[in-house]
Amino acid sequence: MSTRPQLFRGLVLAAATALLLNNTALAETATSQPAAGPPSVADLAEGLLDAVVNISISQNVKSDDDDAPMPQVPEGSPHQEFFDEFFKGQGGEGNRPRTVNSLGSGFVIDSTGFIVTNNHVIQDADDIEINFSDGSKLKAKLVGMDTKTDLAVLKVEPKKPLKAVSFGDSRKIRIGDWVMVVGNPFGLGVSVSVGVVSARGRNINAGPYDSFIQTDAAINRGNSGGPLFNMRGEVIGINTAILSQTGMSVGIGFAVPTELAMNVVNQLKEFGETRRGWLGVRIQPVTDDIAESLKMERPHGALVSGIIEGGPIAKGEIKAGDIITRFDGTDVAEIRDLMRAVGESPVGKMVDVVIIRDGKEQTVRVTLGRLEDGEHLANVQTNENGEGAKPTEPPAAQLPATDAVLGMKLAVLDAGRRKSFGIAEDVKGVVVTEVQPNSAAAERRVAVGDVIVEVGQEAMDTPEDVSARIEELKGDGRRNALLMIANKTGELRFVTVQME
C-alpha cells in the first residue's frame, strides 16, 4: 500500500515532465521554422488592380485562316460556349473576311495614358481597346513596339488621370522571393496569383536578349503583357511566356525583367522606336574546342567572325579572330552578355572593348553606331550579294586539287575557280573543291565552294600553306585546328576540325 502513492506520483511527475519537454520542443520547432509566405496580399493587390488593364484586339482575317489567335479550351469547360462565341468571331463561309478577337493584359505606367504590354498581344491588330477595372473602355493607339524583347507601348486619352504603377529594380530580386501576377487569364477579367521567383537569367531562345525571370506564379493565356510585382508593389517583370504542352500554367512562367525592359519602354515612349547601340561585328560562341585551339584556360568571351562593312569598326580596331572578353566595363562570359551590353548602350557612345588577339589582351576604343541602321545595312549587302548559282566543280583545264587534308581537297583560288564557284572578288584564301563524306571537315559542315582564309590564325594562300600549318599545329600538340571559313559572299565563320 505504501508504494502505490509514490508510484502514482512518479507517473504524474514523468507525465508532467514529458508534457513540458514536448511543449518546449514544439515551441522551439515553431520558432526555428522559417517564416511562411505572406498571409495575404489583399492590401497590396487592392492598391494595384486599377492600374492593370485588359487589352482586346480585333483583326480582320479570312475565315480559312488557321493561324488566327485561338486559345484552346478543355472539352467540357463551363466557359466553352463563351470562348466559341468570343474567339471564333462572326465570319461567314468561304474566304469572306471576318473579325477575330484576342485578349491580353497590360499596365499603366503614366497617369496620362501610357500602357505597357507584349508586342505579340497587339501585333497585326486593326483595333485595340483597353478595358479598365471600373468597367470603362478606351481606344488605344500603338506608340511603338520591339520584337526583340516582345514589348509594346500603347497610348489612350483619358478624361482624368489614370492609376499608374512604377518600375522596380529586378536586379535586387532573389530566387525564392515572393511575387504577384496580375492579369486577364482566358478573358475572365483581372485575376491575382502569387508565387516565388524560381530562377533568374533564363534563356528560352525567344530572342537575342533573353534573360527571363522564371516564376511558379500562375501565368496563363491572357496574362501576356501583364505585370509581375514584388511585395512592395513595384513592377519587376512583364509576363511573356509559359512552358506548357497544354497552354495552361504548370508552374513555369517567364517575365521580361525590368532591368531589360525599362530602357526599351522609355525609348518607345520617347521616340516610338528603339535606338540600340551597335558594334558592327559578327560573333559566335567560344566553344571548348575553340578555346583549346587558342590555348585559352577556359572558354569565355565572344569570337569575332566578321566585320560589317560600313559599320563602326572603320580602322581595324577589332578584327575577325579577336575574342571580346569585356565591353564598357562589363565582363563577357558568353555572346549573350555582349549582345545585351551593346544593345543597352547609347548610340554614339565611345566605349572601351577588351579583346584577345594573337594570345595577348589589349583594349581598343570604339564609337557605337545604331543597331537599327546596321540591320538595314546588312540586309542591303545581303541583297546585293545575292545567293547566286550552286557551286560546280572547276573545269578540268585548271590545276588539280591537292590530296585530301582533314577530309578536304583544296585548290588555289584563281580567276577560273572564283568564277566557277561564284566567289566574291574580295574573298582571299584557298578554295575547298571536295569534302569527303564522314570526314572531320564534313562533321563541321565545311562545304564545296567554301574558302579557307586562316588556319590557326595564320592567313592561307595555297593548299600547301594549309598542309604545312596543319602539321605545325600537330607538332605543337594541338588536337583541333581552328579554321576561318568564308562563304562565296565573304561572310566569315570559325570552325574547329579535329586533326587526330
Q: Is 224 a catalytic residue?
A: yes
Binding residues: 120, 150, 222-224
Binding residues for substrate: 120, 150, 222-224
Confidence at residue 95, expressed as pLDDT on a 0 to 100 scale: 53
Of the candidates 120, 193, 293, 322, the residue annotated as catalytic is: 120
Q: Is 133 exposed, middle or buried (0-12, 13-18, 19+ CB in 10 A)?
A: middle
DSSP 466: H
Q: Which cell numbers hold the place of 158?
A: 483619358
Q: Is 111 a catalytic residue?
A: no
Query: What distances in angstroms separate CA 57 from CA 54, 60, 121, 128, 444, one per listed residue?
Result: 10, 10, 8, 5, 47
Helices (H), 274-334: 288-293
Residues of the chain with CATH 2.40.10.10: 170-271
Confidence at residue 433, expressed as pLDDT on a 0 to 100 scale: 93
Q: Where are the beta strands (DSSP E) in 269-315?
A: 277-278, 281-285, 302-307
- For the domain spanning 408-498, the CATH number is 2.30.42.10
Of the candidates 224, 249, 293, 305, the residue annotated as catalytic is: 224
State pTM to two decimals: 0.68
pLDDT by residue, tens only, the chain of 500 residues: 444 344 333 433 344 444 444 554 444 544 555 555 567 889 899 999 999 999 998 877 655 444 444 544 444 444 445 445 444 544 444 455 555 566 899 999 999 999 999 999 998 888 999 999 888 999 999 999 999 999 999 999 999 999 999 999 999 999 999 999 999 888 787 889 999 999 998 888 777 888 899 999 999 888 999 999 999 999 999 999 888 767 678 889 999 999 999 999 999 999 999 999 999 999 999 989 888 888 888 899 999 988 888 899 988 899 989 999 999 999 999 998 999 999 999 999 999 999 999 889 999 999 999 998 887 776 655 544 444 334 344 443 344 445 688 899 999 999 999 998 999 998 999 999 999 998 889 988 999 999 999 998 899 999 999 999 999 888 888 888 899 999 998 888 999 998 86
The helix/strand/coil state of 206 is coil
Of the candidates 56, 105, 146, 150, the residue annotated as catalytic is: 150
Superfamily of domain 170-271: Trypsin-like serine proteases (2.40.10.10)
Topology of 277-380 in CATH?
Pdz3 Domain (2.30.42)
Confidence at residue 244, expressed as pLDDT on a 0 to 100 scale: 72
Q: Is 150 a catalytic residue?
A: yes
Measure the N-to-C terminal CA separation of the chain; round to a whole number of Å: 96
Residues of the chain with CATH 2.30.42.10: 277-380, 408-498
Helix, strand, coil share (%) of the chain residues, nearest 5: 25, 30, 45
Confidence at residue 294, expressed as pLDDT on a 0 to 100 scale: 84
